[in-house]
Amino acid sequence: MGRGYASGAWPACRRSERAYIGAMAVSSPDLKAFLLATPFFGGLSEASLDLLASMLVERRFDADATVVAEGEPGRSMFIVHSGELVVNKVWDSGRVIRMAGLEPGDFFGEMTLIEMQNRSATVVAESPTVLYELTARNLYTYYKADIHAYVIVMQNINRELCRRLRRADGRIAELQMLHAGQ
DSSP 149-173: HHHHHHHHHHHHHHHHHHHHHHHHH
Q: What is the pLDDT of residue 26?
A: 55
| Section 143-161 average pLDDT | 91
pLDDT higher than 70, residue 79: yes
CA dihedral defined by 169, 174, 97, 110, rounded to 10 degrees? -20
Q: How confident is the model at residue 42 (pLDDT cuts 50, 70, 90)?
A: confident
Could you give the 3-state DSSP secondary structure of residue 15?
helix
Domain 12-181, what fold?
Answer: Jelly Rolls (2.60.120)
On whether the CB atoms of residues 92 and 55 are closer than 8 A, the answer is no
Give 4's pLDDT tier (boundaries 50, 70, 90): very low
Could you tell me which residues come within 8 angstroms of residue 65 by beta carbon, excluding any fewer than 6 positions away? 19, 20, 124, 125, 129
| Alpha-carbon span 82 to 54, nearest angstrom | 19
**Judging by DSSP bridges, how do beta strands 76-82 and 20-25 pair with one another?**
unpaired
What is the spatial distance between Cα 75 and Cα 138, in angstroms, rounded to a whole number?
10
Helix (DSSP H) and strand (DSSP E) numbers for the chain? 6, 9
Window from 59-68, 99-108, 161-170 with minimum mean pLDDT: 161-170
